[in-house]
Every structure is written in structure tokens, then in C-alpha cells.
Structure 1
Amino acid sequence: MKAIYLSVLATSLLSVSALSQADIVGTESYNTYVEVGESTVNAGPHNDELPGIGVYTIGLSDKVDFAGLSLYSSVSNGVYTLSSPIDIDEPDHSGMGVFNFAQVSGANVYFGEWSQTGTSSDSSRTVYYVGDDTGTSVPTSGTATYSVNGINEYSGSNLMSGTFTANFATNSLSGSLANSGLAVNIGSASFDSAGNISSSNASANGSAGVVTNGSVTGNFFGSDAAALAGIATFSNRDYDTAFGGTKD
């Protein structure tokens, strides 16, 4: 099945659609190897104008949608895994790298990680989030809690979980998520009326000890900020984490 998928994908990536229509927002921790944004491929299992990702072996501008990728991925704990490690010496269309990604429940929003080989020492590892921002609105009063999951060097059994709290009167967001090996606190994050989330004082505690002064970039999605997604990045890239969740 994966061999058939890779053949179709390699052909599909040569076809690029016309002008964008959707309001797709997101970012990645590094754009050397992958880049998220609006999908441009409209062929095979893929559709354009959706949350998507481009890989450097094909071309970062030729983005495929996550919905199409999920059709050929294995799933555990709500995380889709597609593994086609790249031959670093001879990268080509047959090796797309290793994807671990999840969809925020009820939203056209995805978050996850990518690397060339899927190993814990892979310096190409990149975390990301991307979603359709159409119809997003942010309340100006009240509070809400969000059940959030996180992906960090996903192994099949180490999905992170936690709770974030938003205060819409003060435009502030706080909270943390963790698994047995890593805890990430987003610090004192803030957001604007458009739902853009940011923080410069996130912290993480894992096998290499505590790291502070991390950065958080994210967005609210949906009516009344029904969902959120983002990434937390640190000086120790092993701690970089993608997250997403929905309002309780």
C-alpha cells in the first residue's frame, strides 16, 4: 500500500493548482526540510486549498494535504504515522521522510513533527501546525479550558496531554502538557483579537534537564476560539513540541 502511495504521490506532486481560496495559517520550527501552508497539489488522493505540507525532496512549494496523507498512514492514539525514511545521500521522490501528525477534533487543523529518518538523534526534526482559519472569532470576556495533546518524538505510546486555560478578558493563555519523559509549560502566553498566540517564556523539563526561555507560536481556530494549535520551541531542539486541542 505504501509503495503504491509513494508512486501516486511522486506523480501528484508535479501538478499544482490555481490561486488559493482558503485561509490557511500555521508555521514550522525550521523551514529547511519542510514547510506547512495551503496545499497546492490537486491530483491522486490529494486536494488543494487545504492544510498541507511540502518536503524538500519534492519542493517546498508543492504541498500535499494532510487529509490525503492520513489515508496511507497507520494510526495510534489519534496520531497518524507515515514512514518512508529519506536516503540522505540520494534524496528523491521515493523517500518522503517520517511523519507523525494529529488532527484537532472537529477542526480542519493539524499538528505534528517530521524528520528524515524518525530517529531521536535526527537533526532535521521539525515540528509544525497548520489549519483553516476561516470563520475564527475570539471572545472578549470569560475564560475557557482546553484539553490539549502534544507530539514530541512520537513512538506510538508517548502522546503528551495537558490543559490550557484562556482568559479572554486579559488575552492570556497558560498551561502545560506532559508524558512520562517530558513536561512543557507554555509560560505566560498572550493572544490578539485575531487569535494569534505567542510566548517567549516557555519552559521544558526532560532527560537533559530544564530549559527556559522557549518560544510559543500558535493560533485559535473556529467560532468563539473553539480549538487551538501551535508549537513550542527551545534551545534544545529535542524538546520542540507541537500541540493542539479543543475547548472543554
Structure 2
Amino acid sequence: MHLLIVEDNPLVASGIRTGLLLHGMQADIAPTAASAQAHMDARAYDACVLDLGLPDGDGMALLRRWRAAGLALPVLILTARGTLQDKIAGFEQGTDDYLTKPFDLPELALRLQALVRRASGRASDRVPLGPDCEIDLAAAAVYLRGEPVELPRREWALLAALVQAGGRVLSTAQLHDSLYGLEGDVGSNTVNVHVHHLRRKLGAEVIDTVRGQGFRLGAHCGPTAP
């Protein structure tokens, strides 16, 4: 899952990103409304965590512009504004969820997982990857013939991104963003290496290569898998 955190407090933003990373979520940070818009224009995200008090504008106005432009990605407002009127205004402007500060990181992670799950049309966080394999997105766990399979963080993030895509093809660049965000000095072949390792551990049918386009979840994987 690749997230955008719009938060001007660097300590809060860094803490959120670190905490979400432990739940298998990669995140970029935008400290202003302008930088948030630049991020949105440059890449695709699975969800956004949006603060309202930004140095160059109000997050609510930013959300209103996004919805007016047809941007449909799930947005969770995370703010110190906790009155009923504030929450009503947030939902009226198009937020999908609203959480007030102070907050618990595990709750934030669960809410984001639920938002992305609903956006992808899945009824459960447990998704079969064929007859012998299953992934639990909420628990960040993979099982092969009933036994847990230990995956490094990058391999988990890649597999989760393909599951959340619901059968859509993700390009190498999109998967790279999901795994590394804006980190530099990452080898151009890293996505292919992670795909190779996942196929070796879980079976070649788990990930399909779409020549010239990228990768997608295997044809026999997902909610309708046997």
C-alpha cells in the first residue's frame, strides 16, 4: 500500500510513516498543500492521510479541490479539530474517514486498510492466492498450505500491492513506488528480483507477467480463487 501523508509537523509525519511502515505500508510525506498537490500529480496513491492545518492553506479546501477534480482515492482526515461540526464538514467535503489527534497508530493502520479494502471492492482482508496459499492483509501474514511464510518487508509490500490492485496490471514504476516511495539509489531491477523471490516461495502462478506492461495478481488468485 502506497500512501501520502499530508502533515506539516515533521515529528508527527515521521512518526506516522515509521509506524505505518511496520504495518507494511510505504508512505511519502507532503508538509504543505502545494507539495501534496505536486505528489498527487506525479504518482498514484492508494490512500491519503490529510491534516487540516497546513502552512499554505486549509486541508479541507485541498480535499474539496481534489473531489471537484474527480480524484476518488480514499482520504482519512487526521486532525486536532474534533468537534461534531468539524467532522460533519469533513464528510461533506468528501473525506472517507475522520480521526482526531491524539490517536493510536494501530487504529490508524486498521482504518486505512479498511478504506483501501472497500475501495477495491473486497469484503475481507483474507484473500486466497490459489488453492494452497492465502494472504491476510490486516495481519500482514501469508500462509502456504496452512503454514505461515516469512516474507521480507519489500516482498510483502509488493504482494500486497498486487492484491489490492484487484487484478489490474501495475507497471514496474508503480510497484517501485509502492516499495520504495521517493527513496533514491534503488536498482532498476529490484522489482523483478522481488517477483522472482515471491514466485519461488509461493508458486509461479501467484504473479503473472504482462509483457510490456508490468505485473498483476495471478489469474487464479483473488476473491474468486478456488
Using CA pairs below 8 Å that are at least 6 residues apart, which structure has the higher relative contact order?
2
TM-score (norm 1): 0.26
